[in-house]
Structure 1
Amino acid sequence: MSQIGSVDAMWTWKLSTLPEETGTVVIRIYSNGTPTQTSIEGIAPRETPQFLLENADRNVHLLLPANSGYVVQSDFLERRMVDCPDVTKVQSFVSPGQQIKGCTAETYQSMSFSDLLSRSYGAIAASTSATINDELVKRLSFNWLSPNPIPRKRLALVGAGSLPKVHGYALAAASLNIALVVFDEASHWMSSDAYAHLREEFVPFDTTVDANMASRITVALKEYQREKQLDGIISVEEHLHTIIAHAATQLGFSTSPPESVGLAQNKFKTRQLDTNIFCRLVRSPADLEKVLAEEGSKLPYPLIVKPSKGWSSEGVWKVANEKELREKVPLLWRESFTSWHGHDVVIETYVEGPEVDANMILVNGEIVFFEVNDDFPCAGDSEDNESDTRVANFVETSNMLPSALPPFEQESLRKRLHELALAAGFRNAVLHIEAKLRNSSCRYVKDPSTDGLVELQLQTPATTTTHPKDVFLLEINPRAPGWQEVEATARTYGVSYWSISLLNALADKDRILSLSKPFVGGAQYDMQLLYVPAQKGGVYNFGDICTTVLRSDPQESGQTQQLGAHVVRCANLMEDGEEVLDPRTGQVFGNFIAFFLIVSRISRMEAMLIGREIEKRVREHTNGF
């Protein structure tokens, strides 16, 4: 039974116990007056009293450890309390790898107020206390303490990419007691002192992709290790993953087999894991003519044409006949494509059915976290591209978390994709898998009650998806999903692929197991990951479109909240003066104007309706760019 006890004339408090799996005792703080700097000076480390001072008009809850151990990630509290209803401020009071000592509720009950403050590992301020304990149980029921010390480790980051790509990794690394040493071109933005806080050291390195790159990496890292130890290697650059796997193998670092990574990055080789459709590889006009001569009228149109080693939906087209096939394939042999994706082009059957993103974390071959997200149809999926105002390509437009597919179909996806991941040779990995469901019980339809909004709906009569061939693998990516989707999953489920990817490079399986546990009950809300791609080429000159759209948010009739209240994260992906290629060329890398993470605790449909309105406003403010 919790009690209220007077501490002094200024403070009283109430203790609450939570379930054992949270490792937490909660102290609700009450102020009996207006606290001042003088009234709280000297009673605990500076951060805790300052939190009380700054949040005196709120409901403040101190969190104390019930167990002893080492903190697995210093900002775990902020990460797990993200977007928690009614919470206005969250702050951790621990450092990376810090050892803390827990006490029983009875011991805490007998302590002085200053002792309680000095022992807290974090604090929360909220507008109401009604649901805080319930939320803490949902969010903190995982092993956030390790029984073993967490020594500082050092990772080599070869190919740091852009700031949006690397920023999440850098923040996660700092909180995990991991130092990043960046190896990249001397002119790379990470070499600037302005970004020194994101890495321990910058080492100039020639990142030219050639047959000797893996050896160059190995030599450079061995040279570095004469002075300082390195414990692993990673890259955020897609085209370097196979090379990095080879270098890691040579250096004795943790990695998936280079053969597995190489297979996953080759869509034709990946297709051989499950050969149940028409699929051909062509490398030249002569190869294309041979396929046409041998297959002729037997070709199962519509077909998909795509680079075998492509990414970001570049050069992916659906063709309906031989004329379109002859038109699209040669476009992929332009130098602008082959310089990045090579000459190998895949021609395969277009498969009907809902498409999903399935993200998987493997430890010792077992799935420790798995999520299915609905990847909404692209313009290229349309059967009537003439009536679609969007360019008929396969650039993503909308992703919904969690999936609306029935549980038995999600289980079919989990089982079959796990089998295919193991067949590809993955045992310890973060995998971003794209797949379709043939014979699904659901299909995308326009909902007349929402003025034609497309949604995934159960068919009547319902079918079942249980046969392995109903799960059609599109591709396995031996990496985390794109940074926007990483952010979406971290907020929706409390699991960060940035953190897991870093720990995987160190083979730190214990911490992976701890941090792969989602919120109790699963997703905390419905989320739409809305991408707004450019519809035409030209020069972007529309400024900060996110701010423009959300500031121009008039109160809609009948709405109690503005649209911006549902946007938990957004970012502009184009800058003024940026030249954008016409997406009809198939070169669509960097084609997105902006993205928005839109949430609803009421319904999936509400999030989608808000997303449609936001996209409409982006189009209006960019003159349909």
Structure 2
Amino acid sequence: MPSYDLHQLPSVTGTIVLNLSPASVSQFLLHHGEDSSLISRRIIPFLRESVLAGSGLIKILLPSSSGFVVQSDILERRMVDCLDVARTQSFLVPAQHVNGYHVNEYMAMEVQQVMSRCFGAVAVQSEDASDQINEELNKRMSLPWLSPSPIPRKRIAIVGGGSLSKLKGFLDAAASLNIALVVLDEPGHWISNDLYADSRENFVSIDMSVTADLPSRFAAALSDYQNTNEERGRIDGLYTLDEHLISYVSQAAALLGLHTSPPDSIALAQNKFRTRQLDVNVYCRLVSSVKDLEQLLAEDGPRLSYPLIVKPSKGWSSEGVWKVANEQELRTRVPMLWQDAFTAWHGHDVVIETYIDGPEVDANLVLVNGELVFFEVNDDFPSPGDYDITDKDRVSTLSKAPVANFVETSNMLPSALPHDEIEALRQKLHQLVLAAGFTNGVLHLEAKLRNSSCRYTESTESDEQMDLKPIGPSKAVDMKPEDVFLIEINPRAPGWQEIEATAHAYGVSYYSLGLLNALADTARVSSLSQPFLGGAQYHLQLLFVSAHKGGVYRYGDICPTVLSQLATNAKDIKARVVKCATLMEDGQDVPDPRTGMVYGNFIAYFLIASRNDRQGAMRLGRIVENTVRVLTDGF
């Protein structure tokens, strides 16, 4: 093949690159007509469309190693948002066996033979970027994407289908992992519609009423399903997207003899008071009635140090979380959590504990047999409730919200904390999840750092905003275990918006890892937990725009309107806002955030990237949020 350019990438990538110029592609298309072969069905359309789109170079990717594909769309997932790449396409099918060859063997083949062996292709915008893309392929494909062992088809029951936006990532991941999905939910759930028959293997109607016998109802329904579907009935794992069902699903999995985290560990993690007992280093009490509250005040009142945090012991989405500055506020906020609207979801147990000042983080980790195979720390920017609610100017400037609750505002990936503080988080949080009894799985933790060398400060620069910055001159900080303050352990992956953020920044998909963990497929969990070499590919802001008031949402799908308006002034807006979604539906009734009920409070989310610095992402984020506020009349 003297007229073609072959490049052997590092062996860990299992990849050899064949460079084709547009002229070479045109010549190939001229001499190789369409037939029923793989070349015609998949490769030729890609080549033709790339040439027509004006690509400067096509990189055909050839396997240099042999094995079974761990995930068929691995190329698209790992090349996400790669600079100077116009198009990427995998030519693999789930669980396919791939035969790899040495460079010299490819050189001895006819071009059509070579093309028939490729596993994917990348269309590059400019030929000048060829070496750069090879380097990116090295960074992104340096993971074991081929398994030495066959990958049999498995079946997972998803209990509680949720919304399309929450489920879609799992549907796509399952298809590429050779996993069939059976969904259990109420009769008439949207995924039971024939329109979605290709997305799931089957749908099982079940009464989802939350009662004590729910785990046994799940187990009985799945046992019946397996008994009546001999060919496609075996259930290999259970999974749920709904936080309030995690404990019930783990109990059902135990009843069926399927892999699960210990139900006792999940119950502990979902009880914030019990979780605090793993690391008691602050004041923390539990109250379940007015009588309990009065007794606490009688016994501890004179010694209470404010501010304090008040929150449901079994809660999620920051619902009912308040910071109280004095006894009067404590007497006001705690009884609010005993309203029927809260107790129906979160029960009567209320935690009262010390408010910890310091940078807050989201820490996501993946465990395999007790070992950390992936760990990331994201900066969780202050919520309105973190500020002094009596300081109206400060609240207006920094939180931009009229209600001092703890709804999410913004995350930044990766964290700006220094290495030693991230390492302290890694060690302490790993220790705590092991103490809670977790050895395998994807976990989402929230924590704060006391005595950090950094804090959130306002910039004096007019074009910058608040960010996490060193308090003073750079100095080594002797971080102690007690400086890591665990807020909560969530026995699940982060919310789907943060799942998307991590997938874009690091190339690691919690959609895939969550499903594989449900199957106890530790080999593939370890393989797919490898981030890009060098870490995150850019600074990424996960921006949440929440409602500032209650009422009925009447502004439609706001994201396309926002992007269209911004595109007139920022030509690269599509490259910088790498993903977004409107999270409210027209006509949706939105609760007043002053009540503390904030579930379903987000109008939209945006993933905003900057390859230069954090402030670049945040500046655009500020513009995006202001645009949403204007277009929704301050909703």
TM-score when normalising by structure 2:
0.95
Matched, 1:150 2:151: yes
Among 32, 40, 58, the residue aligned to 2:32 = 40
Q: Which piece of structure 1 moves more, 496-505 or 162-171?
A: 162-171
Sequence identity, in percent?
58
Aligned equivalents of 1:441, 1:422: Cα separation in 2 = 27
Secondary structure in 1 matching 2:92: coil
Q: Structure 2 counterpart of 1:239, which letter?
A: H
Superimposed CA distance per residue, residues 402-450 of structure 1 (whole angstroms, 9 cap, x where no aligned partner): 0000000000000000000000000001000000000000000000114
Q: Which piece of structure 1 moves more, 318-327 or 196-205?
A: 196-205
Contact 1:563-1:610 at 8 Å conserved across structures: no
Aligned equivalents of 1:578, 1:180: Cα separation in 2 = 30
Q: CA deviation at 1:128?
A: 1.9
Aligned equivalents of 1:146, 1:562: Cα separation in 2 = 39
Q: CA deviation at 1:161?
A: 1.2
Superimposed CA distance per residue, residues 337-359 of structure 1 (whole angstroms, 9 cap, x where no aligned partner): 00011111000000000000000
Match of 1:205 in 2: 206
Match of 1:5 in 2: 2
Aligned equivalents of 1:296, 1:463: Cα separation in 2 = 39
Match of 1:437 in 2: 449
Q: Structure 2 counterpart of 1:122, which letter?
A: G
Match of 1:10 in 2: none
Contact 1:155-1:181 at 8 Å conserved across structures: yes
Q: Which piece of structure 1 moves more, 168-177 or 121-130?
A: 121-130
Aligned equivalents of 1:510, 1:314: Cα separation in 2 = 37
Aligned equivalents of 1:601, 1:451: Cα separation in 2 = 18
Q: Which piece of structure 1 moves more, 115-124 or 186-195?
A: 186-195
Contact 2:68-2:98 at 8 Å conserved across structures: yes
Contact 1:181-1:202 at 8 Å conserved across structures: yes
Superimposed CA distance per residue, residues 550-573 of structure 1 (whole angstroms, 9 cap, x where no aligned partner): 1112655xx7x4444310000001
* 1:388-403 correspondence to structure 2 within 5 Å: 388-389=395-396, 390=401, 391-403=403-415
Q: CA deviation at 1:32?
A: 3.1
Match of 2:5 in 1: 14
Contact 2:389-2:404 at 8 Å conserved across structures: no
Match of 1:541 in 2: 554
Matched, 1:529 2:542: yes
Q: CA deviation at 1:217?
A: 1.0
Contact 1:357-1:374 at 8 Å conserved across structures: yes
* 1:200-349 correspondence to structure 2 within 5 Å: 200-226=201-227, 227=229, 228-349=233-354
Distance 1:111 1:451, change over 3 A: closer
Contact 1:21-1:143 at 8 Å conserved across structures: yes
Q: CA deviation at 1:195?
A: 1.6
Among 109, 112, 121, the residue aligned to 2:110 = 112
Contact 1:92-1:121 at 8 Å conserved across structures: yes
Matched, 1:83 2:81: yes
Among 463, 468, 471, the residue aligned to 1:456 = 468
Superimposed CA distance per residue, residues 478-531 of structure 1 (whole angstroms, 9 cap, x where no aligned partner): 000000000000010000000000000000011011100000000000000000
Among 573, 594, 607, the residue aligned to 2:617 = 607
Contact 1:307-1:316 at 8 Å conserved across structures: yes
Q: Which piece of structure 1 moves more, 295-304 or 407-416?
A: 295-304
Match of 1:520 in 2: 533
Aligned equivalents of 1:554, 1:158: Cα separation in 2 = 41
Match of 2:384 in 1: 379
Contact 2:180-2:201 at 8 Å conserved across structures: yes
Contact 1:92-1:122 at 8 Å conserved across structures: yes
Aligned equivalents of 1:624, 1:562: Cα separation in 2 = 26
Q: Structure 1 counterpart of 2:60, which letter?
A: L
Superimposed CA distance per residue, residues 386-416 of structure 1 (whole angstroms, 9 cap, x where no aligned partner): 3324111000000000000000000000000
Superimposed CA distance per residue, residues 36-61 of structure 1 (whole angstroms, 9 cap, x where no aligned partner): 96643247342011111111232111
Match of 2:425 in 1: 413
Q: Structure 1 counterpart of 2:96, which letter?
A: Q
Superimposed CA distance per residue, residues 188-219 of structure 1 (whole angstroms, 9 cap, x where no aligned partner): 11111122222100011111111101111111
Q: Structure 2 counterpart of 1:446, which letter?
A: E
Matched, 1:567 2:577: yes
Which ranges of structure 1 fall in alignment gaps of 5 or more residues? Answer: 7-12
Match of 2:46 in 1: 51
Secondary structure in 1 matching 2:279: coil
Q: Structure 2 counterpart of 1:99, which letter?
A: H
Match of 2:59 in 1: 61
Contact 2:502-2:508 at 8 Å conserved across structures: yes
Q: Which piece of structure 1 moves more, 477-486 or 561-570?
A: 561-570
Aligned equivalents of 2:463, 2:335: Cα separation in 1 = 40
Contact 1:441-1:465 at 8 Å conserved across structures: no
Q: CA deviation at 1:35?
A: 5.6
Aligned equivalents of 1:476, 1:99: Cα separation in 2 = 39
Aligned equivalents of 1:271, 1:251: Cα separation in 2 = 31
TM-score when normalising by structure 1:
0.96
Aligned equivalents of 1:203, 1:397: Cα separation in 2 = 37
Q: Structure 1 counterpart of 2:192, which letter?
A: S
Contact 1:437-1:465 at 8 Å conserved across structures: no
Superimposed CA distance per residue, residues 357-398 of structure 1 (whole angstroms, 9 cap, x where no aligned partner): 000000000000000000000100012453324111000000
Q: Structure 1 counterpart of 2:604, which letter?
A: A
Match of 1:100 in 2: 98
Matched, 1:172 2:173: yes
Among 500, 503, 522, the residue aligned to 1:509 = 522
Among 466, 469, 475, the residue aligned to 2:482 = 469
Aligned equivalents of 1:329, 1:463: Cα separation in 2 = 41
Contact 1:70-1:145 at 8 Å conserved across structures: yes
Q: Which piece of structure 1 moves more, 24-33 or 431-440?
A: 24-33
Distance 1:223 1:495, change over 3 A: same
Aligned equivalents of 1:258, 1:450: Cα separation in 2 = 51
Matched, 1:28 2:23: no
Superimposed CA distance per residue, residues 563-617 of structure 1 (whole angstroms, 9 cap, x where no aligned partner): 4431000000112211111100100000001000000001111001110111111
Matched, 1:592 2:602: yes
Q: Which piece of structure 1 moves more, 186-195 or 357-366?
A: 186-195
Aligned equivalents of 1:66, 1:463: Cα separation in 2 = 45
Aligned equivalents of 1:183, 1:615: Cα separation in 2 = 37
Count of aligned pairs: 613
Aligned equivalents of 1:67, 1:354: Cα separation in 2 = 45
Superimposed CA distance per residue, residues 88-128 of structure 1 (whole angstroms, 9 cap, x where no aligned partner): 11111110000110100110011111101110000110102
Aligned equivalents of 1:525, 1:608: Cα separation in 2 = 13
Match of 1:485 in 2: 498
Aligned equivalents of 1:172, 1:465: Cα separation in 2 = 42
Contact 2:18-2:61 at 8 Å conserved across structures: yes
Aligned equivalents of 2:421, 2:387: Cα separation in 1 = 24
Q: Which piece of structure 1 moves more, 127-136 or 34-43?
A: 34-43
Aligned equivalents of 1:512, 1:553: Cα separation in 2 = 39
Aligned equivalents of 2:190, 2:295: Cα separation in 1 = 47
Aligned equivalents of 1:125, 1:21: Cα separation in 2 = 22
Contact 1:555-1:562 at 8 Å conserved across structures: no
Q: Which piece of structure 1 moves more, 480-489 or 109-118?
A: 109-118
